[in-house]
Amino acid sequence: QSVLTQPPSASGTPGQRVTISCSGSSSNIGSHPVNWYQQLSGTAPKLLIYGNNLRPSGVPDRFSGSTSGTSASLAISGLQSEDEADYYCATWDDSLNGRNVFGTGTKVTVL
């Protein structure tokens, strides 16, 4: 149902680089900045990346975001055990008179 599509899962060993994709369209990612949220088990989502590639204070520089056309990506370099969480992309969508939309979510597992 979501207009933003993410792979359901991704994994890596400690120290590896993991990339999560977020596929959208011209009415959302193609027109508006993308944000990424990290949700640890049983907790509220936490803002990880905003404005496509900006990190809020306190977010390690291991996390980086990028966009290209109607797609966005989140990269985690130097994967750590505490990075095991669900990750969601999000942006504004111009269709249906406008709405905030979230991606389908990706579960990152640290092997």
Partner 1 sequence: QLQLQESGPGLVKPSETLSLTCTVSGGSISTSYYYWGWIRQPPGKGLEWIGSIYYSGTTYYNPSLRSRLTISADMSKNQFSLELSSVTAADTAVYYCARRPGDHSSSGPKHAFDIWGQGTMVTVSS
- In whole angstroms, give the CA distance from residue 106 to residue 18: 11
Say whether residue 41 binds partner 1 (CB under 8 A): no
Side-chain half-sphere CA neighbours of 63 within 13 A = 21
Q: Which residues between 69 and 88 bind partner 1 (CB under 8 A)?
A: 88
Query: Shortest distance, CB of residue 99 to partner 1, whole angstroms?
Result: 6
Exposure b/e, 37-73, CB count within 10 A at least 16 = b: bbbeeeeebeebbbebeebeeebeeebbbebeebbbb
Say whether residue 63 binds partner 1 (CB under 8 A): no
Say whether residue 92 binds partner 1 (CB under 8 A): yes
Question: Is the distance from CB of 91 to CB of 29 less than 8 angstroms?
Answer: yes
Query: Shortest distance, CB of residue 71 to partner 1, whole angstroms?
Result: 18
For partner 1, the binding residue among 11, 26, 80, 100 (CB under 8 A) is 100
- Quickly list H helices, 1-111: none
Q: Select the span of 9-17, 18-26, 35-43, 68-76 touching partner 1 (CB under 8 A).
A: 35-43
Binding site for partner 1 (CB under 8 A): 2, 32-33, 35, 37, 43-47, 50-51, 54, 56, 88, 90, 92, 96-105
